[in-house]
A and B are shown apart, each in its own frame.
Chain A
Amino acid sequence: MTFDHILIRLGEITVKGRNRGRFETEMLKQVQHALRGFPGLTFIRTYGRLYIALGNEPYEPVADRLKDVFGISSFSPVKRVEPELQAIREGALAVMRSFPQRQATFKVKVSRRWKGFPHDTMAMNHLVGAHVLRNMPNITVDVRQPDIELNVEIQEHHAYVYCEVVQGAGGFPYGSNGKAVALLSGGIDSPVAVWMAMRKGLEVEAVHFHSYPFTSKEAQDKVVALAKRLSTYAGKPFKLHLVPFTDIQTRLAQSKQDHLIITLMRRSMLRIAQRIAEKSGALAIVTGDSLGQVASQTLGSLNVIGRTSDLPLLRPLIAMDKLEIIAMAKRIGTYETSILPYEDCCTLFVPKSPATNPNLRVVEHIERGVPNLSEMIAQAVEGTETIELSPDAPAPAGQTGAAADDWF
């Protein structure tokens, strides 16, 4: 194996001035957690960087896991050598030879972080480059647009040689920017919104509204599956609040305001989400709204619906196009589940012509006419069931759950 270490570059957290130390400690913890399935790894933390010694572990599966860890801007498989000329030259050649032997151009980029190293950067570029050229007849130099950029980083105790830079997920370590609750419907958008909030370092608790028998158990299973998928990014148990919404929905439907029903439902949902946020110490509500996508996401609707919340409403998808959202959902592995055909409680009640520009005064007036609305909201919060999901643990079993394991 050519590469024996992985060099991890931390993203935005390095701009965090005084808090950097705390962020870096948190980052190390999360990387260790994400890679706990690889006992052969050792972790080395240095200024703004993290190194992983692979030991006997294979690179590819470790890299696959790293791509999902928030706070990593990029990483590289590297070869570690002694910080002296001959070792660096041999390491550079070994790295170059790990590429398929064909015509290619390259350039050397030496970063001399240890100022005590005897050769200066210019000299090193030449010394390393010449050694590769002598030994690999198919390789030529192109300093402008090389196929391969051969990087050499010289530090006091070790030098690192690498070519490849793999994009990380970016963002902040999970939970390092506080906590929010997020509305999770089961559609394509809301899981993406949750993922984007998580990437920004928010710890997220998801809130889902179900209204059996208007929605099926499968619609709920689908949300559990989505939450489970999202939990792989959390690095710790992911909370999902399941709110019984049948009574409120039925009562709102009885107000005979078909074109406003979605507006009314969304307002009640936000009120419930806010209560749940207060109970769990969350300081924001994340939604999957994308401007203009559906009637409840026009600016007029967002205004009337959003007024029910005192907490900041975070809408990571607000300026994204549907196709971008779908591409993202595929990338984070929620798309396949999201497109399963079970309806959530909003899609079932979509009227023929929902209001795109609801009137706040009219909506407030209707709500005052709904008997016991605030009591029902309190009851819904009261009756909320909370489950915790982890990527490895099986989803809470159904009736045949116990037998099913044995059957397979």
Chain B
Amino acid sequence: MLYFDHSASSPPREEVIRTVSEVMAQIYANPSSLHQGGAEARKLLERAREQAGRLFGTSPAEWRFTSGGTESNNLAVFGAARRYRNRGRHLIVSGVEHPSVAEPFRALEREGFRVTVLPVSGTGHVDPADVEAALTDETILVSVMHVNNEVGAVQPIEAIGRLLKDRPRTLLHVDGVQSVGKLPALIREWGVDLFTVSAHKFGGPRGAGWLYVRDGVELEPLIFGGGQEDGLRSGTENVPAIVGAAKALRLAVESQPERAERLGRLRRRLVRGVLTMPGVMLSGPAEDDPLRPMAPHIVHFCCPGLKPEVIVHSLEELGVLVSTKSACSSKDDKPSAVLTAMGRDAACASSGIRVSMGDEHDEASIDALLERLETVLRKLAPLRRKEDRH
């Protein structure tokens, strides 16, 4: 079986499974307990924190453990908006965010905040000039993801960070769920205040993630209780998952440059193949373009006139797993909000296919994918709805 759905969830690494299971078996004490068992659990947590701090060139104290990307995004957006509402009521968010960012912004709009949704280009990229134009003295939060989860567009975080350098009252949140381990994330250099990481996207366990909270930034918690994680996230810490996540993070970040190079090569091969297929529209530049950078592990395309589920299931019969839209929202039938924001019509926006690659793939897996995709498309061609064709 060829698994091309890494952006939805990646296979956990052997070493991570071992860490999680050993820690789960041996370190069962509550990290808040005073006795030696608690102290050991606590030590592991602090080591995991140090590891995150070191790998991102930040201070360990700036990292909070959460249950994953969705919680980190919610905590960042709600936490910052509610904490700093007295500074202003204006928020800025890109039009292609993951639902775990987009929905909190909608909820905040209902709470009385004014939200500017940034447009994106045809390839899914935010223009920093639009951020600049949207900024007001009332703006307290800008949220732009690092890598788009559906099409793989890499957003100009560095440039946006520069715009905010002289605006200490405006925080920058970056959803880094799809970028960690694939691209360098220079949190400090770029001036990012809040950064979301999810472990299961790079070989770690589910239910574990981080929120980077820059020293000096305060957040209003979402979950109250025993005051764990500096009061920001109460609840007994998931020690095995956190330690496993720290291991996965190290393995992912340390090998990031080689991975980016290798997956980039595979991506080019896949893009070249997809471009030769009739009735397929690539959702990104056909050639590598430094002005419109794409993440090395994601390729997205539309097959107007065909239902994407049919393609997914047909490929599955041939032993290839890909996905439609993002996994979280792929069960409903609506056109993709990301593709719509990119200016695609309904026919295209509801026929997107995402291929996301990982470490186990090589040239042969890409060729196998292309060959089977071609077979499926040829078989389905007669079923294509004419009025949707372009």
User: Is A408 in contact with B243, judged by CB distance below 8 angstroms?
Assistant: yes
**Which residues of A, 383-408, contact B by the 8 Å Cβ criterion?**
398-400, 403-404, 406-408
The answer to whether A408 and B27 touch (CB under 8 A), given A216-B34, A398-B40, A398-B43, is no
User: Is B22 in contact with A407, judged by CB distance below 8 angstroms?
Assistant: yes
User: Is B26 in contact with A404, judged by CB distance below 8 angstroms?
Assistant: no
Q: Which residues of B contact A400 (CB under 8 A)?
A: 26-27, 40, 43-44
The answer to whether A336 and B61 touch (CB under 8 A), given A407-B247, A408-B243, A408-B246, is yes
Q: What's the dominant secondary structure at chain A's contact region?
A: helix
Counting CB contacts under 8 A, is B250 at the interface?
yes
**Size range of the interface on B?**
10 to 19
Q: Which residues of B contact A407 (CB under 8 A)?
A: 19, 22-23, 44, 243, 247
Name the residue on A nearest B41 (C-beta).
A400
Counting CB contacts under 8 A, is B66 at the interface?
no
Question: What distance in Å separates the Cβ of A335 from its nearest Cβ neighbour in chain B?
Answer: 11
Counting CB contacts under 8 A, is A158 at the interface?
no
Counting CB contacts under 8 A, is B36 at the interface?
yes
Counting CB contacts under 8 A, is B47 at the interface?
yes
Give the size of the chain A interface in residues (CB under 8 angstroms).
12
User: Is B39 in contact with A218, judged by CB distance below 8 angstroms?
Assistant: yes
Question: What distance in Å separates the Cβ of A124 from its nearest Cβ neighbour in chain B?
Answer: 40
Q: What's the dominant secondary structure at chain B's contact region?
A: helix
The answer to whether A403 and B61 touch (CB under 8 A), given A398-B43, A408-B51, A408-B246, is no
* Complex CA distance for A404 and B243, rounded to whole angstroms: 9
Question: What distance in Å separates the Cβ of B384 from its nearest Cβ neighbour in chain A?
Answer: 52
Name the residue on A nearest B38 (C-beta).
A218
Counting CB contacts under 8 A, is A322 at the interface?
no
Instruction: Give the A-B contact count at a CB cut-off of 8 A.
Output: 36
Q: Which residues of A contact B48 (CB under 8 A)?
A: 408
User: Is A404 in contact with B43, judged by CB distance below 8 angstroms?
Assistant: yes
- Chain B proximity mask over A210-244: 1 for CB below 8 Å, otherwise 0: 00000011100000000000000000000000000
* Complex CA distance for A40 and B250, rounded to whole angstroms: 28
- Chain A proximity mask over B33-69: 1 for CB below 8 Å, otherwise 0: 0101001100110011001000000000100000000
Question: What distance in Å separates the Cβ of B28 from its nearest Cβ neighbour in chain A?
Answer: 12
* Complex CA distance for A400 and B239, rounded to whole angstroms: 14
User: Is A217 in contact with B36, judged by CB distance below 8 angstroms?
Assistant: yes
Name the residue on A nearest B40 (C-beta).
A400
Question: What distance in Å separates the Cβ of A394 from its nearest Cβ neighbour in chain B?
Answer: 11
Question: What distance in Å separates the Cβ of A338 from its nearest Cβ neighbour in chain B?
Answer: 14
User: Is B22 in contact with A403, judged by CB distance below 8 angstroms?
Assistant: yes
* Complex CA distance for A31 and B63, rounded to whole angstroms: 34
Q: Which residues of A contact B23 (CB under 8 A)?
A: 407
* Complex CA distance for A216 and B42, rounded to whole angstroms: 14
Q: Which residues of A contact B22 (CB under 8 A)?
A: 403, 407
* Complex CA distance for A400 and B23, rounded to whole angstroms: 10
* Complex CA distance for A217 and B27, rounded to whole angstroms: 18
Q: Which residues of A contact B34 (CB under 8 A)?
A: 216
* Complex CA distance for A406 and B48, rounded to whole angstroms: 13
**Which residues of B, 181-221, contact A by the 8 Å Cβ criterion?**
none
Q: What are 30 inter-chain pairs, A to B, with CB distance below 8 A?
A: A216-B34, A216-B39, A217-B36, A217-B39, A218-B39, A336-B61, A398-B40, A398-B43, A399-B36, A399-B40, A400-B27, A400-B40, A400-B43, A403-B22, A404-B43, A404-B44, A404-B47, A406-B19, A407-B19, A407-B22, A407-B243, A407-B247, A408-B19, A408-B47, A408-B48, A408-B51, A408-B243, A408-B246, A408-B247, A408-B250
For the complex of A and B, the 10 pairs showing the least CB-CB separation, nearest first, are A407-B19, A400-B40, A407-B243, A408-B247, A218-B39, A408-B246, A408-B51, A407-B23, A408-B47, A217-B39
Apart from A217-B36, A408-B51, 12 more pairs, CB < 8 Å: A217-B39, A398-B39, A398-B40, A398-B43, A403-B22, A404-B44, A406-B19, A407-B19, A407-B22, A407-B44, A408-B47, A408-B250
